[in-house]
Amino acid sequence: PGTPVVYYGDEIGMGDNIYLGDRNGVRTPMQWSADRNAGFSMANPQKLYLPVIIDPEYHASAVNVEAQQANPHSLLWWMKRVIALRRRYRAFGRGTLEFLHPANRKVLAFLRAHEDERILVVANLSRFAQYVELDLSSLKGMVPVELFGGSEFPPIGDLPYLLTLSPHAFYWFALEPQEAGAITVREEGGPTIEVAGRWDELITTKARSALEGVLPRYLVGRRWFGGKARRISGVEVLDAVPVPRREDPASDPAGYLALLQVEYQEGDPERYVLPLAVFPPDAEDGRDAGHPAAIATLRTVEGERVLFDAIWDADFALSLLEACGRRRRLSGAHGKVVAQATSAFRRILRAPDGDLSPTLLGAEQSNTSVAFGDRLILKMFRRPGEGTNPDLEIGRFLTERARFPHSPPVAGSLEYRWGRGPVLTLGTLHGYVPNEGDAWSYTLDVLRDFMERVLTSAEGGPAPDREPTGVLDLVGVEPPRMAEETIGSYLESARLLGQRTGELHAALASDREDPDFRPEPFTPLYQRSVYQSMRNLTDRVFAQLRSRAEEIPAAGQILDLQKEVMARFQRLLEGRISGVRLRLHGDYHLGQVLYTGRDFVIIDFEGEPAVPLGERRIKRSPLRDVAGMLRSFHYAAYSSLIGPGQGVVGQEDSAALEPWILFWNRWVSAAFLGAYLDAAGPGGILPETREEVRVVLEAMLLEKAVYEVGYEINNRPDWVKIPIQGIVQLLEDEA
């Protein structure tokens, strides 16, 4: 049952000559091309046993193999894809057949099953659109996966399963268990791979397919892997570059830098970097098959080994450092890893008695960092984009050309190059900056002290503003005595951070020759593009917020404010805006600044990791970075008060503290902004008038808060009330 019958010529939609009688209607010459006799024969047409079809609709000039072979959207290619897909599932040809009996008799539905395969076929036999409800309750919990595109449909439940079909349309679904809809984290102890020869044959030969088969299970458990929410269809090892040992480069390599391509059922593939090395299963430091970095157990001719993420290995990390110091070129099968060192590398290592013991840093997110004592830090970009990473590009500019002293010097880099293809930045080497943690942690500590101080104070609370006041209106205003007493020295810290931010932007604007860093003017076209991107973001986020309003109680505060948000953005188009656009930090907040105890050092210039490299390199208003830091002050203040798991006070104190939190945020933000304007203003990079600064800054602040709402909806719904509160306050401020 279900065996397809394809007559000769049906694969291109070739017509029949029904007037020939008997079965000869389908025995006419095959239409190979638009040539004489449809390319079937060069004989005199009258000598053909049966005539060529001359019906205009099916004439060889309109329907032939040559034309359809050249068109990937033709019926011929569609037939090839259908046949290939059918061959992948044995249930189509060998499975049992069970017809379903929906109420809509114009829709044919049946199930085919063979061993572990279950296929659901639904076909609309009508020339009009139809809907159908199928009783699939016996398959509750299964997920229909559409076979052609790999799209997952909602899981089957107790209710009839509703489908809609366009005229003569059909679905082929593979019914899979719900938990099989995503690849799961590897099991305890991990998988085992048999390797016929040495372990590295698993990477360097065709046997790598076994490795590619287990990699998805490892990747989904990594914090740096960004495709956890997507369905992986496969992983391919594009190249594996051996890293020579530092003591003996001629011996077996310390490990390999593997470049992976992860394919998904939907959307574009992604590239990742995974260092690979092996260790005995009974290694003294506990690196066994149950270790978090273990990928698989290997059974080789050399004995049993455990395959690891090599970045955990001290010898491998030191070998990478050695490669940078000696500026080595490491060859793989398809490309090279070029290790480089800057003048800062020798300067940093020149100091005597330095410890270079590698330590894997625990704050792993989209990247992985290794500290070499108190000298250097290697940051490996797990997901390298096409082109030079801004962290390397901007860091090198600040180190070698701008001589900016308040960011870590770039000491080296690792780049992958293949032929004329794009460069991939695999890692950057920076000078280590002694510090007391990032500015976010420092600020939370300050806020904790601030809250304790005001809770135990006899003061009744800060006086409310007589009128709504924006942060720009407080610039230049002497802080009240209460601010000096309660906020204390952090006002000076905020001023110092504002000064350093202004100096950073002045440094990034210092080269008027290099087209990659040369400042560019604000133009009406750019103003329009900024407004349009803000408008699109707002439409998308507010639609998302409405769809989840029932589960986010705070959503009601802003759902009716979308027009007012748009009106604020509209002000960008009301007049010409002066100033320039620069290369920026791009993801500027308190977590991207180190606090040394006396000063601030700005780090991580790679921009937003989820954004393509080309977009991160776009020149923008420097007030975008300023808005990011001002929003970070607001986040720190309110996360200390209402952030889940972050609050330092009880519920009974929250209402009393909120006016103080607003008070702290306003005066700290004003201190930061005032110092920034003093540092950046003389350089001619900001809009010329205070009103222009206000228009751009308010728009950037509001855009950042709207973006935060969308981010928190997807990642931390309990935190979405913080950016919602920010939007409300920004709209209440005086225009």
> How many Å from the N-terminal Cα to the C-terminal Cα in the chain?
73
593 bridge partner residues? 602
pLDDT band with cut points at 50, 70 and 90 for residue 162:
very high
Determine the average pLDDT of the residues in 683-701: 92
pLDDT at 255 over 50: yes
Q: pLDDT value at position 438?
A: 93
Determine the average pLDDT of the residues in 6-13: 89
CA separation (Å) from 671 to 476, 522, 624, 666?
9, 27, 18, 9
Determine the average pLDDT of the residues in 697-718: 91
Determine the average pLDDT of the residues in 697-720: 91
Paired tokens of 107: 């829709």
pLDDT at 44 over 50: yes
Q: pLDDT value at position 352?
A: 62
- What amino acid is encoded at 334 in this protein? H
Paired tokens of 375: 């000298």
Determine the average pLDDT of the residues in 316-342: 93
Rg, the chain, Cα only? 32
Determine the average pLDDT of the residues in 317-341: 93
Q: pLDDT value at position 613?
A: 86
CA separation (Å) from 94 to 114, 138, 148?
7, 22, 20
- Residue 729: which region, alpha, beta or left (left: phi > 0; alpha: psi -120 to 50)? alpha
Q: pLDDT value at position 185?
A: 35
CA separation (Å) from 495 to 113, 449, 665?
70, 19, 13
Residues 278, 308 contacting (CB under 8 angstroms): yes
CB-neighbour burial class of residue 182 (10 A; exposed 0-12, middle 13-18, buried 19+): middle
pLDDT at 495 over 80: yes
Residues 395, 430 contacting (CB under 8 angstroms): yes
Percent of the chain past pLDDT 70, that is, above it, reads 92
More confident residue, 583 or 646: 583
CA separation (Å) from 267 to 262, 264, 495, 617?
11, 6, 45, 23
Determine the average pLDDT of the residues in 277-289: 67
Provide DSSP, 363-412.
Answer: --SSEEEEEETTTEEEEEESS--BB--HHHHHHHHHHHTS--TTSPPEEE
Instruction: Report the chain's mean pLDDT, rounded to a whole number.
Output: 87
Paired tokens of 702: 């509001």
Smallest CA-to-CA distance from 605 within 355, 307, 398 is with: 398
Cα–Cα distance measured from residue 276 to residue 240, given in angstroms and rounded to the nearest whole number: 9
The residue with tokens 């133009």 is 523
Residues 483, 454 contacting (CB under 8 angstroms): no
Residues 671, 479 contacting (CB under 8 angstroms): yes
Q: pLDDT value at position 386?
A: 86
Residues 376, 397 contacting (CB under 8 angstroms): no
CA separation (Å) from 16 to 28, 31, 35?
8, 12, 19
Determine the average pLDDT of the residues in 513-528: 92
Cα–Cα distance measured from residue 622 to residue 586, given in angstroms and rounded to the nearest whole number: 9
pLDDT at 338 over 80: yes
Please report which helix (H) or strand (E) contains residue 426, including its range: strand 424-431
pTM, 2 dp: 0.74
Q: pLDDT value at position 645?
A: 42
CB-neighbour burial class of residue 231 (10 A; exposed 0-12, middle 13-18, buried 19+): middle
Question: Could you say which DSSP state residue 471 is in?
Answer: G
158 bridge partner residues? none
Determine the average pLDDT of the residues in 137-152: 88
β-strands 336-341, 170-177 pairing: unpaired
Cα–Cα distance measured from residue 12 to residue 4, given in angstroms and rounded to the nearest whole number: 16
Q: pLDDT value at position 652?
A: 57
Determine the average pLDDT of the residues in 189-193: 76
Identify the three-state secondary structure at position 221.
coil
Please report which helix (H) or strand (E) contains residue 660, including its range: helix 651-680
415 bridge partner residues? 338, 425
pLDDT band with cut points at 50, 70 and 90 for residue 182:
very low
120 bridge partner residues? 111, 173
Q: pLDDT value at position 252?
A: 85
Q: pLDDT value at position 184?
A: 31
List pLDDT tens digits, range 609-658.
778 888 899 999 999 999 999 999 999 998 887 644 444 455 556 777 88
Q: pLDDT value at position 648?
A: 47
Please report which helix (H) or strand (E) contains residue 303, including its range: strand 303-309
Question: Could you say which DSSP state residue 449 is in?
Answer: H
pLDDT band with cut points at 50, 70 and 90 for residue 418:
confident
Paired tokens of 182: 């995503």
Paired tokens of 81: 């894809």
pLDDT at 588 over 70: yes
pLDDT at 419 over 90: no
Cα–Cα distance measured from residue 323 to residue 528, given in angstroms and rounded to the nearest whole number: 47
List pLDDT tens digits, range 653-690.
677 788 899 999 999 999 999 999 999 988 889 999 99
Residues 259, 273 contacting (CB under 8 angstroms): yes
Cα–Cα distance measured from residue 13 to residue 6, given in angstroms and rounded to the nearest whole number: 10
Q: pLDDT value at position 180?
A: 30
pLDDT band with cut points at 50, 70 and 90 for residue 284:
low
List pLDDT tens digits, range 387-408.
899 999 999 999 999 999 999 9
Q: pLDDT value at position 172?
A: 95
Q: pLDDT value at position 116?
A: 84
Q: pLDDT value at position 183?
A: 29
Question: Could you say which DSSP state residue 518 is in?
Answer: -
Paired tokens of 285: 């430091």
Determine the average pLDDT of the residues in 207-234: 86
Dihedral angle at the C-alpha atoms of 9, 10, 13, 16, nearest 10 degrees?
Answer: 70
